[in-house]
Amino acid sequence: MNLTPELELYAKAWRNEDTYNNDFHAALGEAVNSLPENAKLKEHRDWVEQNQWGFGDRPFHYVWKMLVEAMPQTFDFLEIGVFKGQVLSLIALLAKETGKTAKITGVTTLQNTPDERCKYPQGDYLNWIHGAYKQFGLDFSNTKLVVGRSNDQHVLSHIGAFDYDCCYIDGNHDFSIVLQDLDNYSKRVRVGGFLVVDDASVGRLNVGNCWPGLDDVAAAVREYLDPHPSFKFLFACGHLNAFQKIKPQIGDGKA
């Protein structure tokens, strides 16, 4: 999978500087807000913010747009740690907007499962996820939910039967679990595909006015991904870190 010219441009331009990261973050947010071709992105993010349907920053929507544009005509997407369906529905929306077919998998407990860093509201998570799709007229038939914790054996066995063009890790934020997720799910990313990690910029970059994320997540990324020969760091946008898999790693292949 090749980077699009726009994605390659941002990857080459990225610098570990406060001013650059403020400007980068602001530019992607403005692209969501102002460009006519991104009206659906703005509508989606506006709804998420107005209804407290997810976290993250507005510029992340544009990062996902660039990644989807770089993926194959039919692509496989995996999210570890689904909340109310913001990202799953966004990927489905972007696939629809670009005329692509997305086969989407989300790993979720469908409960307000806490960790040491974060607590979540009680509620009907399955209904919330379906609600995000319904809000934007999206077909749920190509989306599959695997219910359980990311390190449960039945989840690992199921996910291990497939490979993905993009894996997004945003699950448990405790160091040991993040490290396990990086090890387990990086092997499921196809060569040329993307591994995206949320909450991961503490200590990585001078984020300026941006929130950098969580210490444990960033520490796991620094230990596992930064030195990993199979992955190339592309850029960080706020606390979102994007990597590309550039060659096979030990453990690749169907489980």
pLDDT of 255 higher than 50: no
**Digit-coded pLDDT (tens) for 160-209:** 899 999 999 999 999 999 999 999 999 999 999 999 999 999 987 666 78
DSSP string, 73-111: SEEEEEEES-SSSHHHHHHHHHHHHHT-EEEEEEEE-SS
pLDDT of 48 higher than 50: yes
pLDDT on residue 121: 82
Burial of 186 (0-12, 13-18, 19+ CB in 10 A): buried
Average pLDDT, the chain: 94
pTM score above 0.85: yes
**Digit-coded pLDDT (tens) for 138-161:** 999 999 999 999 999 999 999 989
Report the C-alpha gap between 120 and 84 in whole angstroms. Answer: 11
pLDDT on residue 120: 83
Q: Which structural domains are found in the chain, ordered by start?
A: 5-245 (3.40.50.150)
pLDDT on residue 203: 86
Burial of 179 (0-12, 13-18, 19+ CB in 10 A): middle
pLDDT on residue 113: 79
